[in-house]
Amino acid sequence: MPTLRLTHHAANERWLAQIFEAKAARMGGIVRRAVRDVEREIGRDRLKAEVAGRGFHMIECGGQFVIICRASDLVVHV
């Protein structure tokens, strides 16, 4: 019989913290996480709030959240 995994998002704040403790994040680079992992571990809204609170930028593309860990202006070139 399949097992149902219930995740309590509040218990996964450590998972969220690890994203921004990555070397790339600390150096103003880019980190990415699969959308399905974010939704399972903390929820989309919690990640959006954390990114916004830090003044960073986030895009979603191809099933990934791409977080630009820099608060400066963002220019998108085609």
Query: How far is Cα 77 from Cα 51, in angstroms, rounded to an integer?
Result: 22
Residue 8 has pLDDT above 70, yes or no: no
Q: What mean pLDDT comes out for the span 47-76?
A: 96
Q: What is the CA radius of gyration of the chain?
A: 14
Distance CA 69, CA 29 (A): 5
Q: 3 lies in a domain? A: no
Residue 21 maps to a domain: yes
- What is the domain count for the chain? 1
Q: Is residue 15 part of a domain?
A: yes
Between 12-16, 24-28, 31-35, 63-67, the lowest mean confidence (pLDDT) is in: 12-16
> Is residue 1 included in any domain, yes or no?
no
Report pTM.
0.84
Q: Average pLDDT for residues 40-52, to the nearest whole number?
A: 96
Residue at 31 is within a domain: yes
**By the 8 A CB rule, do 63 and 30 touch?**
no
Is residue 41 a contact partner of residue 12, using CB atoms and an 8 Å limit? yes
- Domain limits for position 57: 10-68
